[in-house]
Each structure stands twice: as C-alpha cells, then as structure tokens.
Structure 1
C-alpha cells in the first residue's frame, strides 16, 4: 500500500480548518488512509499516511486527502468541478512509437505559486502514481516541466540512440544509450526500453529535449522550482485509459493549489484527442440494494446526502440513484463500490452491531469432505500434495505450456507481472514446482487439489471458480500408462466409468494425449508432456500428467 508524507500545516491550509492530531487520526479514514507516523521537524508537524486503496491514486497526496475530507465534512458537496481552458498547444505523436511506448497525453497548468510543501507534494504524487499505479513506470510515467521554457509545437518521437541531451542533474550532454548506462534513473528503469530499436523522446519546436520517457527529464526544462509558475505535464504509457487517468489525477491536484488547467491537442496518425478529459463518469445503483447490504434504514435523501459528501452528483428517480463521479476516479466497477462510499460517509464506527437471530446448525460442506477424500486417495497412490498460488502470469499459463494465449481473468493493476492473472488450469503450477525442484531426487510424484478461475459472462461477477485435481509424475521411465493407472484407480474408487478420446494439445506429445470423458462430457486431459514444454521449464526428465474437474465426479 502506498505510504506518503504530508505537512499538517499544509493539509489544514488545503482543508480550510485546523484540527488536533487526535482528530486527524479519524479524519484521514475518510480518505482511506491511516496515520502511520507523526514527527516534528523545523517547527512543523508531519504525518506519514498509509493509503489502504491502490485503486485511488487521487488520494496519495495532501491535495487529494484534503479534498476528500472537505467534502466528507460537508464543507463542499456534490461533484468537484474543474474548468479546462483551451490552448493552441499541439503535440504530435510519432507512429514509430507504436511498439515502443505508444501513448502520450498532456496538459498545461498555469498560475501556480509553489512553496516547499506544495512542490514536494506534487513531486511525491508524480512518483507514487508512476511507481504503484504505473507499475514502476512500465504502464505510466509522468513528467512535469517548466512551461515557460518550452516552445510549442511539441513532438513525441522515436529517436536514434546516439542523440544527446543533458539529463536532470547533469550539466553535460549524454547520448540516450549513455543515459541508460550511467544515469541513476537509466540504470533503474532502462530495462523498459533498452531492447527497443528507438528510444522515446519529447522535444519542442526548437529541438530542446523535455524528457526521455519513461527514464528522465532534461536539465533544461525538467527542473521545477518554487519560482515555476506554469507547468507542462506529460504522461506516457501503453494504455490510453491509464495515462488519461494519471493525467487527470495530476492536473486536478495542481488545480487544488490554485492552478488553471489548459488542454493540449494530441495528434496521432489515425486520430486526435484533447487532453485532459475531465468529463464526469456515470453509474446507476438501486437504493434498496444499498439499504439491504448495509443494514441501515436510510431514506433516499439520506443516501443522496451521504453520496454528495463523497464527491458524487446524485439524481434519484424511481428508487434508483444515477450518480456522476470525478474523472480522477477509476475504481467504480460495481454497486458495492458505491455502497462502500456510503458507509465511509456514514462512518463505520457509527454502525450499531446487531446479533443475527438465526436458528441454524453448522455443519461441514459435503463437497469439501469429498475433496479431502480425493487428497487421501492420492496420498494412498504414493503422491505428495503441493499447494500453489491461484495468482500467476500469462507466460506460465500459456507460453511455457506451448499453447496459444486464451481469455483469462487479469488483475487490473497488479503489483508484479509475475502475479498478474488468475490461473485457469493447474498443470502449469505443477510444472513450476517441478522446475524449482530439479535438484531433488527422482522420481517426483505430486498432485494438487485447487481452484481455477474461469470467465463466465452469465454470472454477475463474470467469473466462476472451479475445483480441479492435477497429477504429475516426473522421472525416467514414466509413460502414459503410469498416469492412466492412477486415473483408473481414482475412477474405480469413485465407481465412475470414463472414456479416453484421442486429441491434440500443445502441452502434450502428439499421439500420447487424450480427453477424459465422463457421461459424454469432457472433464479433463491426460498425456505425456511435450519436450518443448519440458525445455521451457528447464526439466530434464520425462513428465506425465492429467488434470480434471472434480464437480462432475461428485455424488452426494
């Protein structure tokens, strides 16, 4: 979770009221933060805030926290509004950046009066958004420049690696390759673009370099100080929606400091856009849903008032609330997200606990007993149980298994690309286990009973979790027959008849792989793992395996 520092004095100036430290401990809860630490420095009190929401980058600075608290306290109500003036500034995006770093969006903010506190907050927000929301600058990188030194039009172009400029913190010019090798930020983030044929460069009409996204700004335009009054903001990345959101977060934070936002026209080969786009987003929620899940007996007007304190514009019609929310938020995906804001405004500590009056008798889930019985049976066959993570990555699920990429449930903003999807089959997890244990003795006989997550458009969540069994045998001499013996034993124990039907699958050797059929339904696959898959995982012995769904085998 992001942690950031704010000055108590600066925070109170932005809210417009003074509070005791004890009061601040409760107030920051409105902004989904906790007060992590307090200290005094040069006569000023500072807070370290620990944000509990990685989907709200607008709350990772004093500006966002103060704005949320102003509305929560009723100092302001409804949708925060920001005017965007048009400018005549144009940025042209080079088509050659399509496979390098394709999207850039931009804005101008004028009339700023920075002091040390406000400047440190903007720089801190810039870094936090790029680090966490931007996945260490891979998805989002942000540059802020002294606009008075920039001569439009501006060009976001693909540059030769031998081109030169003086990066931030250096007086002498360096080639783009040298920056990746010698500059601190080049060594830290250079891997993002190092293998590309060109490097991204942002330059103005006079050839002055603004930045080398996503690595470093130039010394000439990229040093923003307390004397800077007008700034140009650049956000680059791979997804237009993500860079637009990051830009919205930055410009509205600067607007909270009194800045005037101006738009920039961005010209791509196939389309043009004006950024930032602060058009409010819309959502509709059933008010009875709010009452039912919260357990609170709230009138329609009370719900409206609570939502207005969480920065929504609310229109109630036929027991439904049509809400508009700010363009710097991207976390409203379900009615539960609206419900959460209602409860934050109401105050979790104000909810009276009520003991449910239910005449029920607890008992175990019979299907869990069935899963345990399967585990015991596998152990009886001489297999060792393993437990692996549901979170994994596309490379493990598809590339290393020698199959084409398919639709899979992805994490919207993963902390690491290693844990970026929910697995849709278990066998890659078993192969990874074997890959990590090549130093151990063979044979290795393992199994896992675990959940996979599948896309199902019929359900409210668009996904469903299914329990599966996967078995893998690794060692010299193992063949299809060895895996089938265990499958036979399983089916015989469950008194289930099954068939094998020849099939093709990239993870298995052709002619040595079959579909597992029960009652005419395909429930799994069995076979000898393909040599290419073994090579991909660094496994030097034969592996045979099968995997199947458990629910078709369950009989109550």
Structure 2
C-alpha cells in the first residue's frame, strides 16, 4: 500500500479549514487512509499516511486527500468540475514506438504558484502513481516539465542509442545507452527498454530533449521548482486507458493548487486524440440494494446526500440512483463500490456493530489451512513466494508457451480458457489454466535482479467443467520456478521429492513430450495412478518469448490430491 508524508498546514490550506492534530485520525478515514505517525519539524506538523486503496491513485497526495475530505465534510457537494481550454500544443507520436513504448498522453497546466511542499507533493504523486499503479513504470511513467522552456510542437519518437542529452541531476551529456549504465534511474529501470532496438525520446521542435521515458527527465526542462508557473505533463505506457487515468489524476491534483488545465492534441500514425479527457463517468445503482446491504435506516434522500459528499452527481428516478463520478476515478465496477462510498460518508465509526446470532463458531477452512502449510513448507526450502494475477490472456497461457488452445496433455493446459466477454484490457482478458506462465512472467520482469531466483506460488486456476452449473471449477495449485545458469531437471525434482516426502506421499514420474519443455527433460507427476502435475526444463524458445536469458526448471501440482490430515 502506498505510504507518504503530508503537511498539516498544507492539508488545511487545501481543505480550507483548520483542525486539531487529534482530529486528523478520523478525517483520513474519509480518504481511505490511516495515519501511521506524526512528527514535528521547525514548528510544522507532518503526518505519515498509509493509503488503504491501491485502486484510488487520486488519494495518494495532499491534494487528493484534501479534496476528498472537503467533500465528505459537506464543504463542497456533487461532482467536482474542472474547466479546460485548448492549449494549441500538438504532440506527434512516432510509429516506430509501436513495439517499444507505444502510447503517450499529455496536458498543460498553467498559472501555478508552487510552495516547496506543493513541489514535494507533486513529485510524490508522480512517483507513487508510477510505482504502484504503473507497476514500477512498466505500465505508467510520468514526466512533469517546465512548460516555459519548451518550444512546441513536441515529438515522442524512437531514437538511436547514441543520441545524447543531459539527464536530471547531471551536468554532462550522456548517450541514451550511457544513461542506462551510469544514471541511478537508468540502472533501476533500464530493463524496461534495454532490449529494444531504439529508445523512446520526448523532444520539442528545437530538438531539445524533455525526457527519455520511462527512465529520466532532462536537466534542462525536467526540473520543476517554486519558480515554475506553467508545466507540461507527459504520461507514457502500453495501455491508453490506463495512462489517460494517470494523466487525469495528476492534472486534477495540480488544478487543486489553482492550476488551469489545457488540453493537448496528440497525433498517432493512425488516429488522433485530445488529452486529458475529463468527461465524467456514469453508473447506475438500485437504492434498495444500498439500503439492504448497508443495514442502516436510510431514505432515498439520505443516500443522495451521502453520495453527493463522495463527489457524485446524483439523480433519483424509479428506485434507482443515476450517478456521474469524476474521470480521475476508475474503481466503480459494481454496486458494492458505491455502497462502500455511502458507508465512508456515513462514517464507519458511527455504525453500531451487531453480533450475529449463530449457533456455530467460525474457523478457518481446513483446506485453506493446508494451503498455508504448503506455503510455509516452500519458504522453509528457501523459496520466495510470489502472488500473481488470476487474470491473464491467451498469448501468455498459450502463444508464449509454444501451445495452441486445447493442445497439450490433460493437465497443461486442460481446456480452452475462460475468457472475459468485455475485458478492460487485452492483457487481462481470460482466467489462467496453469500457473507456470505467471511465474515466467514474474521472472521476465526481474531479469535485472541477482540470480539464482527461486520462486513459488500457491494460487488458483479456473478450468472448464461442463457438468457444473457455472461450467467452470476453481482449483488450487502449487508451482515452483528455479532460474540460474546451472539449473537442471534434477534440482526441481529434488524439491518435488522433498514436498512429497513432507506431505507423506509416494509418486512416480512418467515421460512427457510437451511443447513448453525441452524434449526428454519433462515428466508427468503421477499419484495413485492419476496425473497430479508436471515437471521439466523450460524450452529455450519459450524463454526467448518471455525475454528470459537464464535456464528455468519448473514443476506444478494440483493440491487437492495432496490434501489429507494431518497435512505435515
């Protein structure tokens, strides 16, 4: 969860009201945050804040927190509105960036008066959004520049590796390749673009470099200070919808500081857009649903009042609430998300808890306890646990694994994918049927880290089962991946044998010919005559597909056949 520090004086200036230090504990709850600590420095009080919602990047700064508190207290109501004009700035996006870092969205914010605290919050928001929401700049990277030092139009283009500019914090020019080797941010994030034939570069009409996304800004244009009045905001990544949301978060935060937002025309090879897009988003919720699940005595007017204090424009009609909510939010996917906002505005501390009248006592599910025991066992073997997403796509589950849908043995993959009808992103368009691609994806994102890398996951897969009412079944699995220069089938087998021995099972290995594995170095794990898993060395072509330069050995097991009490 994002953690950051905010000034009490700055927050109060943004809210428009002063509060005692002890009142802020409850105020932060409106912004889904908790206060971790309070410190005083030179007469100023600072709060260390822990955000509890990774789906609300708009709440990861003083501006966002203050805005939410202002509305929750009723100092403002309804949908926040931001006036936007056209800036007459155009950005041209190079077609060669399609397979490097294809998308960029932009804005101009003018008329700022930035204190040192405001600059600090701006940098904090920029970093937190890129780190958490942007998955360490892989999917979202943000640059903020002194607009008065830029001569439009601006060009987001692919550049040769020997081109030069002065990166932020340096006084000498470095080649783009040299920045990846010598600059701190280059060493930290260089793996995101190092294997590309060309590197992304943002330049103005005079050839002046703004930044090398997603690595570092230029010293000439990329240093924003208290003297800066107008800024140019750049967000790049792979998903246009995601980077647009990040841009909305940043520019509306700057607007809370008195900035005037101006849009930018972005011209791609095959289309053009105007950014940012601050058009409110729409949702509809049944009022009876809110009343029933909240457990509170709420009338229609009460619900309208509470929602207006959470930045919704509300129209009540026919037992429903038609809602408009801000473009910097993307977390409203179900009626329960709206219900959560109603409860936040009402105040969790104002709700009287009721003890349920049950004739039984609750306890953890036995199989869940078993899964936890398996996790402890794997950590004891010196492996690091990872947690990856259940959502994936056909390319990851099949294409990169040298498979066609439905190809392979009965376990991997067992059937076609369960696909999402209207996915938000092609990257998250299906539910996974095996864990091994998820572990390879993790390894591909950590090639810059030291080896050996020895990881495992206990996670769910979703399989098609036509006999069930839902036509699907969720199964728990264990997968292990070992990556280092000398890894072999034998090393993976040693861990597999240790797992089986500790769980009290005997097993056998049978030869397996599988496209994802090196021929002759793969096997089926057979338990009581039934297939329970797979083991082998990953095929070099699969490793190349994932951008992994180290050999990898894996095994993957269904956990239900291994469950019995006592477990270990």
Q: TM-score range by the shorter chain?
A: 0.7 to 0.9
C-alpha RMSD over aligned residues: 5.0
Corresponding position of 1:258:
258
Corresponding position of 1:52:
52
Corresponding position of 1:180:
180
**For 2:460 and 2:193, how far apart are their aligned partners in 1?**
34
Aligned: 1:391 with 2:387: yes
| Residue segments in structure 1 that go unaligned for 5+ positions in a row | 376-384, 433-438, 440-447, 479-489, 491-501, 517-523, 551-556
Corresponding position of 1:93:
93
Does structure 1 retain, via aligned residues, the 8 Å contact 2:152–2:205? Answer: yes
Change (3 A) 1:3 1:429: closer
Q: How many residues align?
A: 500
Does structure 1 retain, via aligned residues, the 8 Å contact 2:25–2:34? Answer: yes
Q: CA offsets per residue over residues 313-354 of structure 1, 9 Å max, x none?
A: 111111111111111111111111111111111111111122
Does structure 2 retain, via aligned residues, the 8 Å contact 1:90–1:267? Answer: yes
Q: CA offsets per residue over residues 371-411 of structure 1, 9 Å max, x none?
A: 99xx9xxxxxxxxx99997934779966896545875799x
Aligned equivalent of 2:433, options 421, 424, 432: 424
Does structure 2 retain, via aligned residues, the 8 Å contact 1:390–1:451? Answer: no
**For 1:456 and 1:336, how far apart are their aligned partners in 2?**
28
**For 1:184 and 1:231, how far apart are their aligned partners in 2?**
25
Change (3 A) 1:294 1:183: same
Change (3 A) 1:123 1:547: closer
Q: Displacement, 1:35? A: 1.2
Change (3 A) 1:87 1:457: farther
Corresponding position of 1:278:
278
Aligned equivalent of 1:453, options 436, 448, 461: 461
Does structure 1 retain, via aligned residues, the 8 Å contact 2:264–2:274? Answer: yes
- TM normalised by structure 1 equals 0.76
Corresponding position of 2:474:
465
Corresponding position of 1:221:
221
Change (3 A) 1:247 1:456: farther
Q: CA offsets per residue over residues 11-41 of structure 1, 9 Å max, x none?
A: 1010000000011111011011111111111
**For 1:317 and 1:175, how far apart are their aligned partners in 2?**
62
Aligned: 1:321 with 2:317: no
Corresponding position of 2:330:
330
**For 2:200 and 2:250, how far apart are their aligned partners in 1?**
22
Paired residue secondary structure (1:336)? helix
Paired residue secondary structure (1:270)? coil
Corresponding position of 1:36:
36
Matches within 5 A, 1:526-541: 532=538
Paired residue secondary structure (1:88)? strand
| Higher gyration radius (CA) | 1
Q: Displacement, 1:546? A: 7.8
**For 1:331 and 1:475, how far apart are their aligned partners in 2?**
46
Does structure 2 retain, via aligned residues, the 8 Å contact 1:2–1:60? Answer: yes
Corresponding position of 1:435:
none
Change (3 A) 1:5 1:457: farther
| Residue segments in structure 2 that go unaligned for 5+ positions in a row | 374-380, 406-415, 442-451, 481-488, 494-504, 506-511, 544-549, 562-568
Change (3 A) 1:247 1:457: farther
Change (3 A) 1:207 1:533: closer
Paired residue secondary structure (2:34)? strand
Paired residue secondary structure (1:322)? strand
Change (3 A) 1:468 1:233: closer
Q: Displacement, 1:424? A: 3.1
Q: CA offsets per residue over residues 189-247 of structure 1, 9 Å max, x none?
A: 11111111111111111111111111111111111111111111011111111110110
Q: CA offsets per residue over residues 485-534 of structure 1, 9 Å max, x none?
A: xxxxx9xxxxxxxxxxx998756979x999x9xxxxxxx85788566569
Which region of structure 1 is more displaced relative to structure 2, 73-82 or 160-169? 160-169
**For 1:430 and 1:116, how far apart are their aligned partners in 2?**
43
**For 2:320 and 2:334, how far apart are their aligned partners in 1?**
14
Corresponding position of 1:306:
306
Change (3 A) 1:539 1:234: closer
Q: CA offsets per residue over residues 408-456 of structure 1, 9 Å max, x none?
A: 799x99xxx9xx9986347889999xxxxxx9xxxxxxxx998633278
Does structure 2 retain, via aligned residues, the 8 Å contact 1:203–1:210? Answer: yes
Q: Displacement, 1:467? A: 5.3
**For 2:170 and 2:37, how far apart are their aligned partners in 1?**
35
Matches within 5 A, 1:535-554: none
Q: Displacement, 1:131? A: 1.3
Does structure 2 retain, via aligned residues, the 8 Å contact 1:509–1:529? Answer: no
**For 1:427 and 1:233, how far apart are their aligned partners in 2?**
39
